[in-house]
A and B are shown apart, each in its own frame.
Chain A
């Protein structure tokens, strides 16, 4: 049984993505018998290229992916270089997981409430600094070049890249490198950039690529913050696929293939940038400059990440404020009165989406955790070196969701599987599985093997040593991985919306659906619920070990 686990995981990740891409590629060239497409033709492409604003859509998707990733990476790298051992470093380590757990849609809504012309920032500085007595008539969110979308993406990408870096750092022994560099006269930040970063980057390259792929094709955030006419490519595709006019499906498929192309192009462009930066910095690394730029890098490194984290937290506060606001005149900083009305009115409507969210999240995370544990235990027992197939785990994260999910539905329908709860759960599994694996694998492998040797020398079988020794020792990381899985599932918009054919509602699909309306109070309620659920998961993950009576000192983490 156990030996099948790795093959099962690979199949679970590769087959749906492959089938989905296939069923998008075929209709893109006119072949989809169920819709009356029998021959190969370029008509879908001609139709696509005749769409107004397509070029702008492609440009915004391409640019927002590259720019947001570059900004987020610079913020994270400079922070790590400049803040080692400071209070900021310790504080951020605690804050990074909860920040990462906040879903994209909630961050996007909260950020929109901050920067909108009548948002919190404008209220704070008006009319004292600006003289505005009424909200400015100007597109700050949904700006045509996607700047607010990029900023929103940065807020979400920073905690992700930070967590990935923090996980990779210990194996590089950064303290020793830094000590050596400083003994040679390098100032700390420069020393870190010259001795640690060159080894760190290869370890976080795949997560960086995943961020680019995600940012070039994101849907929920683009619906909330992105430009409207034309929207990003991914949002346009969603519209075409949902168009009642069936012939649009062929063009939408072509557009999905184009989206894949845009993402690949962005990745390629990033790779070229990597090469360029590597050759440009080759001399800088060894030029012996030890101090220059230290002060400014340290300042930027500490403040940029602090700023982005505070913005994310302020976004949550903004959501809370709007969800409780009664009458609220511009430019008052606080509402004249607070009320629970919006919460009370939303209460009954929250029930079904909440139950669906919990059900989908729990089932997909339990399945994913079981599969990951089976794979890791098999790897341990067979002494397999894990490296080779690792990039396959990233496949669902590297292929844009919008490019294969529609094909996946077509593939499922041709097998007689209708969109429903089960399909949504298996769709979530695609994205939950990689994250659970990534957050658990390293601690699993690093558990001192002597624990298990002692157990077995005491007459305990392999499988019973797994249950009685390994799992209890790994309880804390296991629960964290579980919380990560839950958070990933809760935040999924597109898989839920598409694989459930709009009939399976979760707090995320309901919250995003409110984006087209303008009821900020209602949005505040739903986005806050959406943000709160994963946080509850993380608090349980931290609190459960203590509640379960494992009050032993050496287990505390």
Chain B
């Protein structure tokens, strides 16, 4: 693993306001393989924080502060060049592509043995042989695992998680937490998790910021 791959994500006095009212201020550094959890009730602006970092902030919000990945100023880059991986509540597998197509969609363009990478990724999460399946025929847990592998194959340098487990049922939730956090830690990715579930924070095992 190269050094740049593990560059820390630094949030420098990031503050977000809606109609002049300040929602939150965060100042934190997330180092390689670490998960920072931001907790707060709905409306506290935690998802807006992710949108700001990833480059999708709605116009109605105003935000200030720096977002750095190592030496790179992320705010000066368009969303697709920030190398930020996103996981939402829903797996959001593209319905017009197969499972394999979804994984390939995430792969950088000029890569050798794409097929092999896809096969390996599926094997890694116990879905060997699922390449040509229609995502709609997969169970919720299987879809989440494909979404996770799609994210990892895209070689992100940092990952943002937006309540990724909240729609799974209890048994599956524990399993996915273990899978997601172990994979992200193994890849050495600095990760920001927003959630309102304390168990997510416990499973993440990193520092916690409480909002609201």
A binding-site residues for B, Cβ under 8 Å? 383, 448-451, 453-462, 465, 468-469, 472-473, 475, 550-555
Contact = CB atoms under 8 A, between A and B. Distances in A.
A461 B136 contact: no
Nearest to B150: A458
Given A383-B59, A475-B96, A450 B88 contact: yes
Contacts of A455: 94, 105
A472 B96 contact: yes
A383 B92 CA distance: 23
Contacts of A552: 95-98, 134-136
A54 to B, nearest CB: 56
Given A450-B92, A453-B56, A473-B95, A458 B134 contact: no
A184 to B, nearest CB: 31
Interface string B68-106: 000000000011111111101010101111100000011
Interface of B: 54-56, 58-59, 78-86, 88, 90, 92, 94-98, 105-106, 108, 134-137, 150-151, 154, 156
A383 B51 CA distance: 15
Contacts of A383: 58-59
Nearest to A448: B92
B86 A457 contact: yes
Contacts of B98: 552
A152 to B, nearest CB: 42
B134 A454 contact: no
B134 A551 contact: yes
Contacts of A551: 134
Contact of A459 (B54, B59, B108, B137): B108
A448 B89 CA distance: 13
Nearest 3 A/B pairs, CB to CB: A553-B136, A554-B95, A472-B96
Q: Which of B90, B134, B137 has most A Cβ within 10 Å?
A: B134
B98 to A, nearest CB: 8
B54 A453 contact: yes
Given A451-B94, A457-B86, A473-B95, 5 more contacts: A457-B82, A459-B83, A473-B94, A553-B95, A553-B136
B137 A553 contact: yes
Contact of A461 (B56, B78, B97): B78
Contacts of A550: 96
Nearest to B136: A553
Contacts of B134: 551-553
Contact of A456 (B79, B88, B135): B79
A554 B105 contact: no
